[in-house]
Structure formats: structure tokens, C-alpha cells
Amino acid sequence: MPLYEEVMRRAPSHLRTLVSCGDVLILLNQPLPPAPEEADVVCYAVREEVDRLRNHGVFFLSHEAPDELDMMLQKPSIREIHEYTATRRCVMDIGLWLLSDRAVRVLRTRSMAGSHTKCSVFADGFREYDLYGEFGLALGKQPLRHDPLVQQLRVKIVTLPEARFFHYGTTEDMILSTVAIQNTERSSEKFLRTTMSRHPAAVFQNARVHATLAEDQRSTWVENSEVSAGWSLQHHSVITGLPRNTWTLHVPAYVCIDVVPVRGEGGGDKQGWVVRPYGFNDIFRGYITEESTEFLGMPIECWLRKHDLRIETLTNGNNANMLTSSVQRSSRGVRRWRILAFSFFG
């Protein structure tokens, strides 16, 4: 937030709208460069290695005018990056944009549903219009997406050479970014600190872990939990919200568990937990009826078939109520939880 506040404080008066991503952290080791006056859209960027560029938005700039945008690509391939950088330089979008009122009006116009709209239209007459995937691809002098209205906007790129960019868009990003921040040496007392484990790619926060960890315990996150000695944790796993326990449980690699305390219906004294297993690489997107929707690392249809379940028993036709399973605090409830866990992970 301090960075965003400073950007707005120093922005020209006509750049009154700031757009930022909620899953990034930018640490700035330099004074913030001034935002260009003669622009409708100002995008902030950092320099990154090619392998990282392919997972983000990329600005391609003229060598002669390094603040002038030629074109933007979303998650370009390595081949595309090499192709376009043969005559240009490139920097990575950090999801921090300033917009003029004119740019906001263009966005509003393009977000209104027209007679030829093919995508989803909302009740208020607006349609789905992606800021980065549609609006962004039409910006610049040589955009890959043709849109005369958007191309009228003046665009400037502000590169932050000393900035560090941390992404939290995926489960693995969350772990790697936190580890990278922890390993950043800073003298400032305000530097973000977190309790880390003795393993370089594992994060323990407000957690008691009695289980033996393997040497390759990479990409592991345990928070607000107690993992008893009877647990067997593999790599690529996130464990959150586990109550105190003495259970024996094997959690395979790429399986995550989230446990949330709940009360019974009507606000009575009956208490329990909701267990929410999910896959390390699940993207939490899509309807249960779509083949591309994944759960615990596999297509949802395959998972259902593997566990002798039918979609009709879990859904009203659009979505599912299958990601939560309530258990009691009693020992019987614990046994049920363990059986449930083996059922989900097996």
C-alpha cells in the first residue's frame, strides 16, 4: 500500500485512477520515478529473466524510446519473446497502471454489450472485458489486437530497475515469494519478517510440526496448525487450520488440506470442522460439468469416477457442494475425518 499511495500522490492530476493486482508485492529500493504527464495510460514494469516473462504480461518497447510501448503480450511463449526482442527490448508488467479519465471512458465503452457481443452479458448491460487480455493487447504503436478506439490512447511505460517483484497468484508462487522475501537481506526494521523452518523451501507460521521432515521437503507451507508425529508429509503441500491432534495420516505430494472450525445450524453448541482438500496446482476455476475443471490434480470427472460418485448427487446442475465435509469433535468424528482423508487422497 505505501507504494501505491506514493504513486497516486505523485501522479499528474489527470491520472486519477489506479489499477493494481491484489496478488503481488513490489519492494522498491529507489526513489519512485515521476509519472509522465503526456499519457492516458501509464504502466509500471520491471526487468526479469525470460523464463519468468512467459508467465506474465510483457511490454515490448522501442530501443530508441524506452518508455514508448510498441505492443503488449500476455504470457508469451519463449519463441515469441525471442522473436519480438530481436528488434525491441522487453520488460514485465507488474499490474500497476494509472489511467486518465479518457482511458476510463474508453474502458467503459468497451465494457458495454453491443449487438454483436458474443461473450457473457450481465443484467446491467455490461459484458466481460479483460483489462490485460483485451484492453492491454490493443495498446501501443503496433498492437496485436486491432481496436481503433483503444489505439487513440497515449501509453507510457515506467520501468523500475531496482524493484523486486513477488507474485502470489498460485500456491507455489506464494511459497517461493515468501521464501525469497525471507532471504532478502535488509537493514530496515520495517522489513517483512516471517517465521521460517530450517528447510529452505518450507514455511511454518504459527505452527507446531512434530512430524519428521524429509530433506527434499520443498514447496511446503504449514500455518495455524499442529502436525503430530504420526503425520507423513511429502513435498508440494499446504496445511492450514489443523486443530491439535494425535492422528496418523499420510498426505501425498501435491495434496493440500484446509480445515475451518464451524458451529452447527441454528448457532447451537454443536461444533466441528470443515475439511477442504485441494490440489497444489488446482486453479479453482470452472464449473463441475466442464471437462477442464480440476480437483486434487485431476479432471473432476476422473476424480468422481475414481471414488464412485456421480455429478448429479453433488450439484444442482451448475456448481457443486463437494469441497467441504463437516466432522464432529468427538473421537468418532476424528476417525471419520481420517477415513474421509484417505478417501479423498487415495
The residues near 159 (Cβ < 8 Å, ≥ 6 apart) are: 44, 45, 46, 47, 66, 67, 91
Q: Is residue 277 within 8 Å of residue 298, measured between CB atoms? A: no
The series of mean pLDDT values per 10 residues for the chain, 346 residues long, is 88 93 87 90 92 90 92 94 92 95 95 65 76 94 94 95 89 90 58 46 89 82 93 92 89 91 68 85 81 84 81 61 46 43 46
pLDDT value of residue 315 = 62
Q: Exposed, middle or buried, 320 (CB in 10 Å: 0-12/13-18/19+)? A: middle
Residue 284 falls in which region: left (phi positive, over 0), alpha (psi -120 to 50) or beta? left
Residue owning grid cell 505505501? 2
Helix (H, G, I), strand (E, B) or coil at 302: helix
Q: What is the pLDDT of residues 252-270, one digit of tens each?
A: 999 999 998 887 666 666 6
Judge contact between 262 and 273, C-beta under 8 A.
yes
Please give the full DSSP string across 60-92, using - where no structure is assigned.
EE-SSSTTBEEEEEES--HHHHHHHTTSSEEEE
pLDDT at position 288, please?
A: 75
* Count of CB atoms situated within 10 Å of the CB of 297: 17
Work out the burial of residue 231: count CB atoms within 10 Å of its CB; fewer than 13 is exposed, 13-18 middle, 19 or more buried.
buried
pLDDT value of position 106: 95
Residue 337: predicted pLDDT = 47
pLDDT one-digit tens code per residue, 71-88: 999 999 999 999 999 999
Residue showing cell 515490448: 60
For residue 294, the model assigns a pLDDT of: 85
Residue pair 257/276 in contact (Cβ under 8 Å)? The answer is yes
Phi, psi values for residue 31, rounded to 5°: -60, 145
**What's the confidence (pLDDT) of residue 54?**
87
- Output the pLDDT for position 292: 80
For cell 511429502, name the residue.
Answer: 234
Q: What is the mean pLDDT of the chain?
A: 82
Q: What is the pLDDT of residue 333?
A: 45
Phi-psi region of 125 (alpha: psi -120 to 50; beta: other; left: phi over 0): left
